Amino acid sequence: MKIVIDVTPEDVDQVNRQVSSGRYRSLQEFIIVAIWNQLYLESHEPRSTALEGEEYDIPHSASLTAPITDAMQLLQLSPQLTDVKTVHLSDLPRHGYLWGQYNRIFPVKVVMRVAANLARIKGSESFLLSELQEKAAERARELGKVIQREDRLMGRKRGTIISAGLPIGKGQDKAKLRFKNHFVGYLASRRTDANEHETKAEGAAPTLKFLDIRNEKDSVVAGITDLGLKFACFLNPVIDSQDYSNPFSSEELNFLLDHIALQLPEEAKLIHLILSCIKKGIASPEELNARMKSFNPKWKGSEPITMRAGVVSRIGELRLLERRKDGVRVTYKLTELGEKYLDRLGG
C-alpha cells in the first residue's frame, strides 16, 4: 500500500541527516520505525499499577528505537526464516542436561531468533560465533529492559519474572558476557582424566541441540540446527505480540516438553527427579538439595544447590510447578501439566 503525505522541507532535511548518519539504512526504514514506535506507544499507555513505593516512567520514544529496529531485523519472524540453511550437529561432546546457571529457556529463544536471522541475512549455514554472541547479547539486553519494566508493572514475583536470565544488570559488560557464555555458548578445551585434549560445546543453546559450534580453519563458527530453526520459527507472545503474560506460547511449550523428553534424556531424568519428589511431599528447596546429591555423586560443594535452583527455575518457566511461600518457607506444588509430564516421564 502506498500512502502519500506532505512533509515540511525542514523535517525532510532532519530525516535525511538521520539516514545519512548511518543510523537507518534508508528513508523507508526510518518511516517504518517511526510508525512502529508510535504504535508501541499507543498500545502501552501509562498505567497506575506500579508496585507500592516505586515509580516507573514510560520510556521516551527515542529509547524504543533500538528494540523495535531489532524486532524488524534480527528478532523478526518472517516467511524467509523457514528457508534458512541449517547445519548438522558436530560430534563434539556436550552435556546431556542443562547446567544450573542456565536458569531459563526464554533467553535461548532470543538467541535462536537472532541466529536464524543471521543465517537468513548472510545466506550461509554458518557465521562467526563472536558475531552471534555480540548481536544476541545486544538484542537480549534491549528487549530485556522492556520486559523488566512489564515484570515490575505486573508485580511479578521471584520464579515468574520473564526477564530473568537476560543481560539487564547494571554492569552491562559483565551481564552480556554471562549471557554469551551461558545462553549462546562457546567451545571449552580441557584435559580429560586420561590426559587427552578435549574440546566441548558449552552453553544452553548447544546443549539443547539448537546451535552447533565448531572450529573451522582459524575461526570458531556457529550454525543453527533443524531443531533450533523449528524453535526459532514458532510465534512467541513476548517477542512477536508484546504479550507478557507468559514467556512461551502453547506451541512452544509443547515443543520444548517433547524435545526434552526425546532429545535430552539426562535433563528429562533431572526433571523427573524433581517432579517425583514434589509429588511425594519432598517439596522445599532444602529437601530437594539433599535429593539432588544422589543424581550425580561427582557434584561437590554448592553444585547440587546450583543444579536444583536451575532445574526448578526452568520447569517453573515450563509451567510444570508453582512456587508457594508461607512466611519465609518456600515449597513447590505440581501443576496439572506437571502431573501429566511426570506420568509421561515414567511416573
One domain, residues 31 and 145? no
Tell me how crowded residue 226 is: count the other CB atoms within 10 A of its CB.
13
Mean pLDDT across 255-265: 97
In this predicted structure, the answer to whether residue 248 has a pLDDT above a threshold of 80 is yes
Give a yes or no: residue 244 inside a domain: yes
In this predicted structure, the answer to whether residue 45 has a pLDDT above a threshold of 80 is no
One domain, residues 94 and 67? no
Question: Where among 238, 263, 288 does a domain terminate?
Answer: 263
One domain, residues 129 and 183? yes
Who's near 43: CB < 8 A, 6+ residues apart?
242
One domain, residues 139 and 257? yes
| Enclosing domain of residue 50 | 1-73
One domain, residues 252 and 275? no
Task: Give the pLDDT band (50/70/90) at residue 179.
Answer: very high
- pLDDT of the residue at 79: 85
Q: What's the number of domains the chain is made of?
A: 3
In this predicted structure, the answer to whether residue 326 has a pLDDT above a threshold of 90 is no
- pLDDT of the residue at 293: 87
Q: What tens digit of pLDDT does each residue of 271-296 get?
A: 999 999 999 999 999 999 989 988 88
- pLDDT of the residue at 21: 56
Give a yes or no: residue 78 inside a domain: no
Mean pLDDT across 225-245: 96
Tell me how crowded residue 236 is: count the other CB atoms within 10 A of its CB.
22
Is 267:260 a contact under the CB 8 Å cutoff?
A: yes
One domain, residues 163 and 248? yes
Distances (CA, A) of 159 to 165, 225, 246, 310, 319: 11, 30, 12, 11, 11
Q: Read out DSSP for 219-281?
A: EEEEEE-HHHHHHHTS--HHHHH---S-SS-HHHHHHHHHHHHHH-HHHHHHHHHHHHHHHTT
One domain, residues 196 and 120? yes
Per-chain mean pLDDT for the chain: 84
Q: What tens digit of pLDDT does each residue of 72-120 get?
A: 579 988 888 888 999 999 888 888 999 999 999 999 999 999 999 999 9
Of 21 and 291, the one with more pLDDT = 291
In this predicted structure, the answer to whether residue 193 has a pLDDT above a threshold of 50 is yes
One domain, residues 268 and 245? no
One domain, residues 270 and 347? yes
One domain, residues 161 and 250? yes
Edge-to-edge strand order for the sheet containing 219-224? 127-128, 219-224, 211-216
Please give the backbone phi and psi of residue 332, each rounded to the nearest 5 degrees, phi first: -120, 150
Give a yes or no: residue 179 inside a domain: yes
What is the pTM (predicted TM-score) of this model?
0.78
Q: Read out DSSP for 34-91?
A: HHHHHHHHHHS---S-PPTT---PPPPGGGGHHHHHHHHTTS---GGGGGS---PPPS
One domain, residues 157 and 14? no
